[in-house]
């Protein structure tokens, strides 16, 4: 099948599965995965695979960067202890447990650790696709874990593959160096690329070029980290988190509007295509396993999947109990996750593209020239566990979330209300000074002030959001200039709230989006009439 035909098939599958999934009220990723498996039965698609380079160097940087941009850094700092534990200790425990189970099926220890390391990390894109209905804090915890744990798992994976290929066991010093280089080198590469990219964004004025620069950042960060043998995943995540903090001050309304539209469409298409391609790869992997080994391989898939679930449940409940013993302040106890939330977090441990890419990247030969032992088993077991986590856990996750009966998250609404109120108050207070600077006539100044007062009064009186359509805007040049100047005061007020930790990064993005729409409306040319 040609590349053009494959693009058409992927696009058609994405549209059809999404429409059907919305009708059935299930996550589109489930149908996309099943669709890929079924498409893999067609002879024309037997040769279509998922090269690990495509996942690691194209899909992964773009998707992880967007997930980082839409993740709360304040939330990460607030729950840093739990995120560090799940992205390191839980990864080691998961990899080790799966290695023990697969070794019991007759797989050598080296290959068993390769399988365990490939399956240890949860997948950020899968979590985002299935867990959107979770409260903000729970979602932040899951996404942050998925963004960071890839670095840990890929180091363990690299060590395990190296042992099988060379036959030599690394020393403790070598392992420590690998982890230090992965984390510190990846973080440094991401910070450097973010600093250079944001410096460029500060001086670039054209919205299109601003967004091209932003799109390049995750790929440059990943490449820079790979060149020093550090974690490209962590480089992308660090670059994205830094951009969430500094980006609002170096971007413009036009560039943000254009960029948000691009990222929404691009990540939707990349995510959808990725799930279909995973399904195709799974279908192809089934044909590679000899019939005589199929029963054993299927047994390993089920055993590895159940092991991952059991370890995740045990870790969340045991670690939660230990952490609770060390809590001293009432605030810490109030933020402690209850048993229902821990069940949800355990079920939401989904595997995805990173695991499959790691399995596919296993070399075909070892140092002696012989074939890599049971490489087809590594790929088949990894792919099978991915299918079980996405289909089984993905389908039961929504009912589990409903069973958990999470309290309505009023914090985000309160913070957004604070941001909008503060922005209006700041703009109203700045009317005299800005009007004088722009030499605006008194009648225009008074009209703008009255409109802001009306908006502020209605916002304070309401329990919802301010209605942006309640004021009929004049198109006079002075009016427009004054309103545009006051928008900058609003933005600065909201950014100040974010910097002080009074509102979240996600609240900032939403309020900033409202202000960007208002600016675009003010800049719209007047109809001739």
Rg (CA), the chain: 26
Calpha distance 208→306 (Å, rounded):
48
pLDDT at 321 over 90: no
pLDDT at 324: 67
DSSP 252-314: -HHHHHHHHHHHHHHHHHHHHHHHHHHHHHHHHHHHHS-HHHHHHHHHHHHHHHHHHHHHHHH
pLDDT at 328: 60
Q: Euclidean distance between the first and final Cα of the chain, in Å?
A: 55
What's the chain's average pLDDT? 85
Rounded to 5°, the CA angle 319-320-325 comes to: 95
Residues of the chain with pLDDT > 70: what percent?
92
Calpha distance 376→374 (Å, rounded):
5
Give 372-416 pLDDT, tens digit per residue: 998 889 999 998 999 999 989 988 998 998 898 887 777 777 888
Calpha distance 53→462 (Å, rounded):
52
Which has the closest alpha carbon to 362: 386, 382, 387?
Answer: 382
Instruction: Give helix 136-166 / helix 109-119 axis angle, nearest 10°.
Output: 160
pLDDT at 463: 42
Calpha distance 38→456 (Å, rounded):
56
pLDDT at 282: 82
Residues of the chain with pLDDT > 90: what percent?
28
Beta bridge partners of 365: 371
DSSP 218-242: HHHHHHHHHHTTS-HHHHHHHHHHH
pLDDT at 467: 43
pLDDT at 334 over 70: no
State if pTM tops 0.85: no
Q: 442 exposed, middle or buried (CB, 10 Å; 0-12, 13-18, 19+)?
A: exposed
Give 286-313 pLDDT, tens digit per residue: 787 788 888 899 999 999 999 999 999 9
Give 411-462 pLDDT, tens digit per residue: 777 888 888 888 888 888 888 888 888 888 888 888 888 888 877 887 776 6
> What's the CA dihedral at 460, 463, 467, 470 to 10 degrees?
-60
Which has the closest alpha carbon to 76: 148, 151, 184?
Answer: 148
pLDDT at 480 over 80: no
Give 496-525 pLDDT, tens digit per residue: 988 888 888 888 888 888 888 888 777 766
- Give Cα 184 distance to the centre of its chain: 21
pLDDT at 469 over 80: no
The average pLDDT across 88-102 equals 95
pLDDT at 366: 86
pLDDT at 465: 42
């Amino acid at each position: 099948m040609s590349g053009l035909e494959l693009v058409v098939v992927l696009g058609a599958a994405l549209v059809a599965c999404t429409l059907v999934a919305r009708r059935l009220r299930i996550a589109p990723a489930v149908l996309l995965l099943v669709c890929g498996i079924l498409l893999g039965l067609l002879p024309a698609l037997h040769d279509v695979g998922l090269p690990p380079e495509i996942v690691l160097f194209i899909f992964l940087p773009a998707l992880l960067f967007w997930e980082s941009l839409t993740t709360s850094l304040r939330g990460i700092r607030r729950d840093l202890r739990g995120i560090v534990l799940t992205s390191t200790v839980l990864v080691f425990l998961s990899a080790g447990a799966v290695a023990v189970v697969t070794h019991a099926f007759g797989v050598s220890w080296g290959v068993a650790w390769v399988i365990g390391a490939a399956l240890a990390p949860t997948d950020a894109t899968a979590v985002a696709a299935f867990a959107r209905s979770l409260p903000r804090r729970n979602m932040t915890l899951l996404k942050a874990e998925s963004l960071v744990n890839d670095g840990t798992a890929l180091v363990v994976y690299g060590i395990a593959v190296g042992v099988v290929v060379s036959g030599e066991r690394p020393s403790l010093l070598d392992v420590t160096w690998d982890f230090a280089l992965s984390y510190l080198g990846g973080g440094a590469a991401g910070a450097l690329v973010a600093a250079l990219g944001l410096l460029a964004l500060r001086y670039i004025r054209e919205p299109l070029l601003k967004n091209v620069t932003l799109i390049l950042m995750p790929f440059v960060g990943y490449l820079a980290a790979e060149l020093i043998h550090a974690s490209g995943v962590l480089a992308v995540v660090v670059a994205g988190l830094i951009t969430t903090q500094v980006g609002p001050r170096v971007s413009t309304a036009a560039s943000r509007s254009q960029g948000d539209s691009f990222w929404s469409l691009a990540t939707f298409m990349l995510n959808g295509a990725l799930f279909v391609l995973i399904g195709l790869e799974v279908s192809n992997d089934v044909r590679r396993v000899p019939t005589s080994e199929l029963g054993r391989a299927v047994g390993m898939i089920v055993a590895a999947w159940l092991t991952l679930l059991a370890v995740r449940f045990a870790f969340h409940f045991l670690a939660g109990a230990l952490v609770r013993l060390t809590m001293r302040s009432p605030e810490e106890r109030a933020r402690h996750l209850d048993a229902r939330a821990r069940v949800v977090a355990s079920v939401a441990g989904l595997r995805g593209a990173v695991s499959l890419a790691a399995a596919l990247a296993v070399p075909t030969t070892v140092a002696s020239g012989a074939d890599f032992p049971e490489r087809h088993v590594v790929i088949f077991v990894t792919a099978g566990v991915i299918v079980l986590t996405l289909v089984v856990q993905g389908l039961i996750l929504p009912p589990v979330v409903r069973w958990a009966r999470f309290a309505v998250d009023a914090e985000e609404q309160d913070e957004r209300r604070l941001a909008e109120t503060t922005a209006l108050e700041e703009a109203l207070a700045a009317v005299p000074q800005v009007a004088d600077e722009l030499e605006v006539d008194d009648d225009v100044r008074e009209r703008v002030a009255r409109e802001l007062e009306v908006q502020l009064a209605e916002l304070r009186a309401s329990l919802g959001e301010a209605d942006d359509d309640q004021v009929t805007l004049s198109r006079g040049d002075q009016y427009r200039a004054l309103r545009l100047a006051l928008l900058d005061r609003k933005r600065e007020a909201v950014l100040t709230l974010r910097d002080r930790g009074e509102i979240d990064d996600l609240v900032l993005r939403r309020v900033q989006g409202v202000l960007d729409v208002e600016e675009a409306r003010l800049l719209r040319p007047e109809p001739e009439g």
